[in-house]
Amino acid sequence: MKIAVVGTGYVGLVSGTCFAETGNKVTCIDIDQRKVTKLSNGEITIYEPGLEKIFLRNLHEGRLKFTTNLAEGVKDAAIIFLALPTPPGADGSADLKYVLGVANDLGKIMTDYKVIVDKSTVPVGTAAKVHAAIAANYSGEFDVVSNPEFLREGVAVDDFMKPDRVVVGVNSDRARKLMSDLYAPYVRQGNPVIFMDEKSAELTKYAANSFLATKISFMNEIAQLCERLGADVDMVRRGIGSDDRIGKRFLFPGIGYGGSCFPKDVQALIMSAEEVGYDFQILKAVEDVNEAQKLHLIPKIKAYFNGDLKGKHFALWGLAFKPNTDDIREAPALYLIDALTEAGATVTAYDPEAMPNVKGVIGDKITYVDNHYAALDNADALIVATEWAEFRTPDFEVIETKLSTKVIFDGRNLFDKNQMKELGYHYESIGRP
């Protein structure tokens, strides 16, 4: 099948590459000439485990190509995916200017039947708006479908190639057949393609991410309570996670969630509710808890140093909002950096993938090094902000020789608290006495 993907950001590039992997001919379109040139030359523009290998294979075998020309890119496509940014506006609602702008342009260049698919995370009612934008300039037959992505950064290729479900919002038998044929290779093991109306599909994406964010904030609240009551959040987590009604996933406390999805989608769902006169109180609390949790380590750090961080130097392990990605959007580490430097401290940081992105945002506000042990030199304490695998079992004897004092503030509960005590470290984590 011939497919066009408009937008070569995270979702667009993963989707286009994975569609090509099953034999489809895919053209990805982006207005950024520099990015298109890089991609056309085999230079991948995002970090995602496993993506580069299949990207290069499909590029070299001619199933995947890139262009800045929208008309050329969609001309022969049966299905056009819109994988465009929907950034939050000043009030937190999703800004649809990119989605509707492309829809308007499509209406001017389409000449035959096509299925236009919203792959972006969009508010309820967007499919109807996209349909209207196209119909304003095109009187022929076409369908608009909602097909939200459920990709997790760090495992996105597996999520796409072996989805636990595919959600498709569609009101046309013709479009349903095309979407069913397209996804057939990905659900051969029996996982469902769930067909529904467009509004329900649009809400499903927001509901899923908001529910997961709620689990994270709930466990961070439990961790706060554990610290005050002397309970151990790890034991509580194991106790409740063994209940299959709750499940084990998304129960790990830490210093809050970040990334491109959870913060934006929680905000957008709150605003969608307000637009129809509903006060989504739970999600407002989820958002408030998460904002506070990003800085949960700061009072602990200040208390240890008697309230004065001026002149103190900290090693920071991890900058990405989670491991196996270079994404720093809403990353808790950035909030910690701001708080520490505003208090007069200095920071040396290491992250396996995210340092170029951080440097592009904050420049030389901190020092960057090429391995996690180098970050420790003469630091007054180590702060762990991202749970990269290489941080999980470090050589604590090396850490001891490099730190000026044996102090660790662990925002991801990576280390065994009893081992830390035996080794003589002052060790503080989240929700553990």
Kindly report the three-state secondary structure assignment for every residue of the chain: CEEEEECCCHHHHHHHHHHHHCCCEEEEECCCHHHHHHHHCCCCCCCCCCHHHHHHHHHHCCCEEEECCHHHHHCCCCEEEECCCCCECCCCCECCHHHHHHHHHHHHHCCCCCEEEECCCCCCCHHHHHHHHHHCCCCCCCEEEECCCCCCCCCHHHHHHCCCCEEEECCCHHHHHHHHHHHHHHCCCCCCEEEECHHHHHHHHHHHHHHHHHHHHHHHHHHHHHHHHCCCHHHHHHHHHCCCCCCCCCCCCCCCCCCCCHHHHHHHHHHHHHHCCCCCHHHHHHHHHHHHHCCCHHHHHHHHCCCCCCCCEEEEECCCCCCCCCCCCCCHHHHHHHHHHHCCCEEEEECCCCHHHHHHHHHHHCEECCCCCHHHCCCCEEEECCCCHHHCCCCHHHHHHHCCCCEEEECCCCCCHHHHHHCCCEEECCCCC
- 433 is a domain residue: no
Q: Is it the case that residue 91 has pLDDT exceeding 90?
A: no
Nearest to 293 by CA among 265, 321, 264: 321
Q: Is it the case that residue 88 has pLDDT exceeding 90?
A: no
What angle, rounded to 10 degrees, do the helices at 10-21 and 51-60 form?
60
Q: Is it the case that residue 131 has pLDDT exceeding 90?
A: yes
Q: Band of the pLDDT at 146, cuts 50, 70, 90? A: very high
Model pLDDT for residues 329-364, shown as the tens digit of each residue: 999 999 999 999 999 999 999 999 999 999 999 999
> Residue 372: which CATH number?
3.40.50.720
pTM of the complete model: 0.91
Model pLDDT for residues 11-57, shown as the tens digit of each residue: 999 999 999 999 999 999 999 999 999 999 999 999 999 999 999 99
Q: Is it the case that residue 260 has pLDDT exceeding 90?
A: no
Q: Is it the case that residue 208 has pLDDT exceeding 90?
A: yes
Residue that terminates a domain, selected from 164, 196, 228: 196
- Residues 349/374, Cβ–Cβ less than 8 Å: no
pLDDT at 283: 98
pLDDT at 17: 98
| 172: its two tokens | 């046309």
- 49 is a domain residue: yes
Selected catalytic residue, list 18, 28, 226, 261? 261
Strands 2-6 and 407-410: unpaired
- 47 is a domain residue: yes
Q: Is it the case that residue 159 has pLDDT exceeding 90?
A: yes
Mean pLDDT of the chain: 97
> Whole-angstrom Cα distance, residue 94 to residue 232?
39
Query: Does 233 share its domain with 136?
Result: no
Query: Does 66 share its domain with 153?
Result: yes
pLDDT at 175: 98
What's the rounded mean pLDDT across residues 292-317?
Answer: 98
- 210 is a domain residue: yes
Is 226 assigned a catalytic role? no
Find the domain containing 37 and state its range.
2-196
Query: Does 355 share its domain with 284?
Result: no
- 150 is a domain residue: yes
Q: Is it the case that residue 89 has pLDDT exceeding 90?
A: no
Query: Does 231 share its domain with 130?
Result: no
Query: Does 258 share its domain with 383?
Result: no
Query: Does 181 share its domain with 38?
Result: yes
Percent over 70 (pLDDT), the chain: 100
- Structural domain total, the chain: 3
Query: Does 186 share its domain with 212?
Result: no
pLDDT at 92: 80
Q: Is it the case that residue 125 has pLDDT exceeding 90?
A: yes
Query: Does 320 share its domain with 385?
Result: yes
Residue that terminates a domain, selected from 245, 266, 293: 293
Query: Does 42 share its domain with 182?
Result: yes
> Residue 238: which CATH number?
1.10.1040.10
Percent over 90 (pLDDT), the chain: 96
pLDDT at 15: 98
What's the rounded mean pLDDT across residues 209-238?
Answer: 98
Residue that terminates a domain, selected from 158, 178, 196: 196
